[in-house]
């Protein structure tokens, strides 16, 4: 329950935060951090939830954009990167970067909560 709640909170917060103007591109890591701090889980589960939440947020957004764009741009970028022009590979890379950042910041939140409990 906590796990899926964290994922959903991370996902929605990750998408929503960019609507606030002035927030830098990495602003979403505050969301995964805070979610892990508020909805406390053991570090491994917090990481998984943070990772999955942001993986889905970035991946989902990018996929939605890519679908509307008929992959016109992603194909070109995927040959610059180089990912052999594969939009899917580029979507995966995007999702993993988002997930990674979500995961490490969530684990940080989880450890902070734990350290607080002990003291």
Partner 1 sequence: MRIAPFLASATLSIALVVALDRPLGKIPPLGKFLSPQYGFWQNAEPIGMDYGGTLQLKGLKGDATVYFDDRLVPHVFAENEEDLYFIQGYLHARFRLFQIDLQTRAAAGRASELAGSKAINFDREQRRLGMVFAAENALKEMEEDPLSKTIFDSYTAGVNSYIDQLTEAALPIEYKLMHVTPERWTNLKSALLLKMMAKMLSAGTENDLANTNAKSIFMPEELSRLYPQVPDSLLPIVPNGTLYPKPGVIPAKPAIADSLYLNNKQTVAAQIIDRPDPGNGSNNWVVAGSKTKSGAPILANDPHLELSLPSIWFEIQLKSTSSNAYGVSLPGCPFVVIGFNDSIAWGVTNSQRDVKDYYEIKFKDDSKKEYWFAGKWVPSKLRVEEIKVKDSLSVFDTVAYTIFGPVQFDKQFSTGASANRNLAVRWAAHDPSNEGMTFYKLNRAHNYADYEEAIRTFTCPGQNFIFASRTGDIAIWQQGKFPARWDKQGLYVMPGEDSSFLWQGYIPQQENPHSLNPERGYLQSANQRAADSTYPYFIPGSYITARGIRIDKKLASMSGITPADMMALHYDYFNTSAEDLRPVLLKNVIESQLNAKELSYLQQFKNWDLYATPNSIGQTIFQCFWDSVQFSIWSDEVNRTSPAATWPTEQTTLELLLKDTALVYADDITTPQKETLSITVTTAFKKAAANLQQKEAEGKLVWSKFMNPSIYHLLKDALPAFARKGLTVGGYGNIVNAIKHSHGPSWRMIVHLVDGIEAYGVFPGGQSGNPGSRFYDNNVSVWEKGEYNKCWLMRDNDKGDARIKWTLQVKKS
Spatial separation of the C-alpha atoms in residues 101 and 32, rounded to whole Å: 9
55 binds partner 1 (CB under 8 A): no
Q: How far is the CB of 2 from partner 1 (least distance, A)?
A: 19
CB 7 within 8 A of CB 46: no
Spatial separation of the C-alpha atoms in residues 58 and 55, rounded to whole Å: 6
Q: Which of 43, 45, 86, 89 binds partner 1 (CB under 8 A)?
A: 43
Residues belonging to the chain:
119
Q: Which of 8, 12, 37, 112 binds partner 1 (CB under 8 A)?
A: 112
- Determine if the peptide bond prior to 41 is cis (ω within 30°): no
Positions touching partner 1 (CB under 8 A) are 15, 18, 21, 25-26, 28-29, 33, 43, 58, 61-62, 65-66, 68-70, 72-74, 76-77, 79-80, 85, 93-94, 97-98, 100-101, 104-105, 107-108, 111-112, 114-115, 118
């Amino acid at each position: 329950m906590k796990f899926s709640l964290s994922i959903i909170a991370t996902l929605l917060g990750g998408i929503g935060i960019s609507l606030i103007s002035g927030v830098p591109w990495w602003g979403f890591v505050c969301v995964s951090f805070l979610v892990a701090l508020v909805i406390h889980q053991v570090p491994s589960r917090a990481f998984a939830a943070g990772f999955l939440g942001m993986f889905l947020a970035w991946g989902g957004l990018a996929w939605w954009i890519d679908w509307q764009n008929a992959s016109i741009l992603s194909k070109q970028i995927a040959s610059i990167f180089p990912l052999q022009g594969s939009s899917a590979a580029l979507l995966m890379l995007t999702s993993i970067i988002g997930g990674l950042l979500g995961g490490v910041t969530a684990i940080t939140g989880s450890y902070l909560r734990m350290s607080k409990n002990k003291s």
